Structure 1
Amino acid sequence: MDKETLDLIQSIPKDVWLQLYNDAPKPMLRQFGKLGEDLAKTLRLITFPVQCTAFIQDRIDEGFKRAIQKVPEERRVTPPEGLILDIADKLKHHDSETLVGKLYVELLSASMDRERNNQAHPAFLPIIGQLSSDEALFLLRLSKKKPSLYIKHMLTWDLVTKEERELLLEGKSFPFYDEEKNLLDMTLHPEEYFYPNNFYIYIEHLNELGLLEYTNEATSEDWKRWAEIKSIKYDMWCIQLTKFGELFFKCCTDALVSLDK
């Protein structure tokens, strides 16, 4: 919310706000008891000066309703006010049925869940707005393959095709974390993304956001066995979620898993 809007809100006497709130139609959030009442009051008071249409308010209310419904009643707690207002502002522009909207709902839901509010890191808020659907799918794939691999041409940024990948890795495996794993099963598939040519861009962007890390350095005796497999034409990179990325995935799991449905 910009400074001009906040200044406008703060300039209006509190008793005027309360009268406006009391005169407003009862929002859907009130059905959730005290937590719903508190959320509704905060949202109504903060959005009155800028509330243009009932459509926008209904969109915000629907997002908050979905967030509350995901939390068992006995675990519901009031989330930080700053987070409430920031997410409400985001939901004005993103329907809760969209991927980005779902991610905001998941963040809000975690923040009002006594058992999950440690997952609701405030830094996730600006990250959500920067994610494409391909990048969200990328995070989902990394969560399922630990660690994941990708094969890259040594001298170019051209994508390695499915046929090249299979020819190079078919039937090859070696131990990761005391478990023998098939290299093909661990390898990411650029062709499954909507914009496959952005595959390397996604890696760099998610790395800059602090969500993933990658290396092609020999960090163990097992990894050195790659030298027996790779050729002068290809290189193999190990890629995985960072601890921060794992926390983000835990917080927003339901929204990300929905990409596979």
Structure 2
Amino acid sequence: MARGNLIAAIAMTEPGTGSDLPSMRTTARPDGDHYVINGSKTFISNGSLANLICLAAKTNTEVAPFRGISMIIVETADLPGYRVGSPLEKIGMQGQDTCEIFFENVRVPKANLLGPCEGHGLMQMTEQLPYERLAISAKALATAERALALTTDYVKERAAFGQSILDFQNTRFKLAECKSAMHIGRVFLNDCIQRCITGRIDDMTAAIAKLWFTDTEWKVVDTCLQLHGGYGYMLEYAIARIWTDSRVQRIYGGTNEIMHEIIASTL
């Protein structure tokens, strides 16, 4: 992967399950020295390009769902029964390859099991979620800061009614609110990063970060697009692409509704 010989993807989400990982239906049935995999996954980033997939599948359907999931490494080159669907058409993030993948009696060596034994898949996935949610938070803040910088430059140059848009009090106050949120967010993010470096980032803090930063990103970016007026709706302007790309931030990595649940469970 470091050399670029392999492109990787992680395959968790299935049609109809979304954030409900224990309800996945993809199975990996033991058969001698192999697993026989059947099922499908959706919204897979790098899906059509990947030749190495970290797959979440049920290796035991007789136990509780959270105990029967395992992670299996699948090398897809010339693999019988493995199929990639057409790229999914998204409203944003057009440069990112996202698709469905299908497994029909795909045989993979048991040696490709990730970890020392079966049944640890859900734990393996969830123990990395705080890191993923912190990465999403960092992206959200950086995106919002970029939108604010672009918009500040735009309203200085754009004139209306004989003055720059920045000269209107509404514009200055809206941008002041955005800048205040970004400044506070930067302090919180730095604290979260330090916690992560020292191994002290917990599920609740990561959930708060993901929830607050992605909600704030959307509010800031939407405000910035509004200040661009009609040009903000044109894809030739960066703010329009930022706006469409930002919408998914509140969905992947665990929906923000799930973040509310995680936070509420600590009350």
Normalising TM by the smaller chain, what interval? under 0.3
TM-score (structure 2 length as normaliser): 0.25
More strand by share: 2
More helix by share: 1
- Structure of larger gyration radius: 1
